[in-house]
Amino acid sequence: MLEIDSVTFRLGGRTILDGASARIPDGHKVGLVGRNGAGKTTLLKLIRGEFSPESGEIRTPKGARMGWVEQEAPASDKSLIEVVLAADRERAALLAALERENDPERIGEIHDRLATIGAHAAEARAAAILRGLGFSEEDQRRPCRDFSGGWRMRVALAGVLFAEPDLLLLDEPTNYLDLEGTLWLESYLARYPHTVLLVSHDRDLLNRAVGHILHLEGGRLTLYAGGYDEFERRHAERLRHAAAEARRKAEMKAHLQSFVDRFRAKATKARQAQARLKMIERLGEIAPPPLPEETRFAFPDPEPVAPPALALEKVSVGYDGRPVLSHIEARIDPDDRIALLGANGEGKSTLAALLAGRLAPLEGTVTRARKLRIGHFAQHQIEMLDPAASAFAHLAALLPEEAEPKLRARLARFGLGADVADLPAAQLSGGQKSRLALLLATLDAPHLLILDEPTNHLDIDSRRALAEALGRWRGAVVIISHDLDFLARTVDRLWLVKGGRVREYEGDLEDYRAMLLAERDTAPQPQTGKAEKADATARRALSPAERRRRLAPLRQAVAKAEARLEKLEALKARLDAALADPALYENGLAPRAQEWQKKRHELEAALAAAEEAWLEATDRLEAEEAALAGGIGTGADEG
């Protein structure tokens, strides 16, 4: 059992833990949550023994092995599989001892111990973990120095998972994973045989991988049973009860004080007044429960641009003349909300850099709307902040003519209030740095905002606030994120980046999640001859509910195609209305009218393509409906 007993700890003059206590039984999977800056990472360091509490005690089971990821795996000549195998120190020590040992009895003991710890299956287990985190069999044989820092963090994570410590401490492990790796980790942690304490702001991970939530708030710890959704419900209920109790005590105190004020001077009532004064003292100070801090983002709305905001025709893009992505045909309209899906290394960030204008195409045409402004947020921009300069100084350097009150108001609109605006960037939390980088990326009110993992380092409330702000904002958004909950709140189109191509993904995010899980668990098998007949027979044997599940993705594809058609029709109507305005052809605006006429022709072409896509989706749905209805007779219950 991990026991945190009345621990108090201060850091930099700020109280992080204030008499905090919690008990985590062996084998429990626990998510540690709290707002940015609450002290979650500090608590992990206290458990690991890097810090010592001022008072109280942290106890772990005697002899328990503790494991965590502190830094990326070193850029050595060792292969990835060798690095991971070496993480199990007992196995490595036993194998080294076996090389030196001559005593037959001792050799037997070593073999017995190796068998006990499953050493014979170690390489297969290490390979499975690396594969789950995104490393191919070929990658696993390459030297660690061949990989970037983010990938070496994955290797370090693979090592600690392979070592299977009795107490596994993980601090935001999904920050360097893609969606595929996150889903694998979610499943792995749910089956992990020992105790896990996981700091994460990924709602899905906290709902699926852990059975308890440990909440750090105001220096105190509270353990809740269930995943994050259950914690959120129970915590809100707890706050309501505390607020009601505070109101009840305040009303009682006011009633008692009223009696004292009225009768204190009367000798006949003095004893009763004194008794009520003692009751007021026993009630003590009545403080209402702390209200959640408001989390804010406010993006400046751009002026309208004619569609498409950006179009790609037969585009290839890559590095040093070698394409990463080829034959890209796509368009982004001024109100599009698009997620880029695909595993790390498939080219999502390359596509984002192309859209942002930071990479030139190797071939093909990129057309941008007249005066289109693009904002680009990527993780490396956080690292480029001047550690010695404050958030205010960063902003003032870009807007030297703007008055100080306006600059501070801009910072406040991104949740960077007076308490942090003048701190050096080095002292800001990861979430505060992300907010600053987002502010700097959107200063000129971009028409198109490209966000590459914007939720890393943001707590759950901040992620929700960011999604809400993007929902209010009147521009186009392209997002790369491993947070499915965030994507579900923000996007309505999905592009799949895979195998050097970019295509529209026809399902929804749950379909994509199911596809990834299916690909992880089973490899697709070709169906020919008798196998095709067997599959047809199996389809006819499906129950009505199973048929509905089979048809759901196709129906969703039709609905998405219809929604796309409706959006393009609405854009065409707005453009037609603008072209019908006589003022457009006066005061030297004729060139703009010509440009908008050209946009209308492009929009008609996009409408034709959208209609074709709708027809294809409808045909696929009808064909599958016919296949499933074959041999059933009634075909009932398909609605």
**Residue 300 corresponds to which tokens in the numbers above?**
């400046």
Quote the CA–CA distance of 539 and 428 in Å, as a whole number.
57
The answer on 543 and 505 residing in a single domain is: no
DSSP code string of 389-405? SBHHHHHHHH-TTS-HH
The pLDDT of residue 528: 37
Single pTM value for the model: 0.71
Is the pLDDT at 538 greater than 60? The verdict is no
The pLDDT of residue 632: 39
Residue 8 lies in a domain: no
Residue 204 lies in a domain: no
Quote the CA–CA distance of 359 and 348 in Å, as a whole number.
13
What is the per-residue pLDDT across 72-119, written as a single tens digit (0 to 9) for each?
888 889 999 999 998 888 888 888 888 787 777 787 788 788 787 777
Per-residue CA distances from 485 to 142, 211, 553 (Å): 35, 19, 19
The answer on 484 and 558 residing in a single domain is: no
**Residue 357 corresponds to which tokens in the numbers above?**
């204008």
Q: Is 43 exposed, middle or buried (0-12, 13-18, 19+ CB in 10 A)?
A: buried
The answer on 415 and 319 residing in a single domain is: yes
The answer on 272 and 406 residing in a single domain is: no
Is the pLDDT at 334 greater than 70? The verdict is yes
Quote the CA–CA distance of 498 and 488 in Å, as a whole number.
21
Quote the CA–CA distance of 524 and 566 in Å, as a whole number.
36
The pLDDT of residue 588: 64
Half-sphere exposure of 360 (CA within 13 A, CB side): 4
Edge to edge, what strands does the sheet with 493-498 contain?
Answer: 374-377, 448-452, 476-480, 337-341, 493-498, 501-504
Regarding beta strands 195-199 and 212-217, do their DSSP bridges make them parallel or antiparallel, or are they unpaired? unpaired
The more confident residue out of 627 and 407 is 407
Edge to edge, what strands does the sheet with 195-199 contain?
Answer: 66-68, 167-171, 195-199, 29-33, 212-217, 220-225
241: left (phi over 0), alpha (psi -120 to 50) or beta: alpha
Reduced to 3 states (helix: H, G, I; strand: E, B; else coil), residue 91 is helix
**Residue 74 corresponds to which tokens in the numbers above?**
């070193």
DSSP code string of 459-511? -HHHHHHHHHHHHH--SEEEEE-S-HHHHHHH-SEEEEEETTEEEE--S-HHH
Q: Is 365 exposed, middle or buried (0-12, 13-18, 19+ CB in 10 A)?
A: exposed
Residue 191 lies in a domain: no
Q: Rounded mean pLDDT of the chain?
A: 83
Give me the domain span that covers residue 259. Answer: 246-283
Is the pLDDT at 529 greater than 50? The verdict is no
The pLDDT of residue 601: 75
The pLDDT of residue 525: 33
Residue 485 lies in a domain: yes
Residue 362 lies in a domain: yes
What per-residue string of b and e applies to 593-619 under the rule 16 or more CB within 10 Å gives b?
eeebeebbeebeebbeebeebbeebee
Q: Which secondary structure element, helix H or strand E, spans residue 238, and what is its range?
A: helix 228-263
Is the pLDDT at 290 greater than 70? The verdict is no
Is the pLDDT at 595 greater than 80? The verdict is no
With CA atoms as reference, report the closest residue to 34 among 132, 171, 175, 169. Answer: 171
Residue 289 lies in a domain: no
Domain count, the chain: 3
The more confident residue out of 265 and 484 is 484
The answer on 399 and 265 residing in a single domain is: no
With CA atoms as reference, report the closest residue to 220 among 376, 34, 492. Answer: 34
The answer on 441 and 583 residing in a single domain is: no
The pLDDT of residue 240: 80
Ranking 216-220, 250-254, 325-329, 458-462 by mean pLDDT, the lowest is 250-254
Residue 391 lies in a domain: yes
The answer on 503 and 411 residing in a single domain is: yes
The CA-CA-CA angle for residues 149, 46, 242, to 5°, reads 110
With CA atoms as reference, report the closest residue to 494 among 614, 336, 374, 366. Answer: 336
**DSSP assigned state of 424:** B
Residue 111 lies in a domain: no
Could you tell me if 186 and 84 are in contact, meaning their C-beta atoms sit under 8 angstroms apart? Answer: no
The separation between the first and the last C-alpha atoms of the chain, rounded to the nearest angstrom, is 52
What is the per-residue pLDDT across 377-406, written as a single tens digit (0 to 9) for each?
987 778 789 999 999 999 999 999 999 999
Contacts of 141 (CB under 8 A, 6+ apart): 79, 80, 81
The answer on 513 and 541 residing in a single domain is: no
With CA atoms as reference, report the closest residue to 33 among 282, 200, 160. Answer: 200
Contacts of 453 (CB under 8 A, 6+ apart): 175, 378, 379, 480, 481, 482
Quote the CA–CA distance of 342 and 388 in Å, as a whole number.
37
**Of 458, 493, 519, the domain-final residue:** 519
**DSSP assigned state of 79:** B
What is the per-residue pLDDT across 491-500, written as a single tens digit (0 to 9) for each?
999 999 999 9
The answer on 594 and 622 residing in a single domain is: yes
With CA atoms as reference, report the closest residue to 490 among 478, 501, 503, 498. Answer: 478
Q: Is 148 exposed, middle or buried (0-12, 13-18, 19+ CB in 10 A)?
A: exposed
For CA atoms 440, 443, 445, 446, the dihedral sign is negative
The pLDDT of residue 155: 94
The pLDDT of residue 543: 56
The answer on 542 and 513 residing in a single domain is: no
The answer on 256 and 338 residing in a single domain is: no
The answer on 442 and 328 residing in a single domain is: yes
The pLDDT of residue 287: 61
Quote the CA–CA distance of 432 and 584 in Å, as a whole number.
45
Locus of tokens 């993007």: 470
CATH code (residue 392) = 3.40.50.300
Is the pLDDT at 631 greater than 60? The verdict is no
What is the per-residue pLDDT across 451-461, written as a single tens digit (0 to 9) for each?
999 998 888 88
**DSSP assigned state of 143:** B
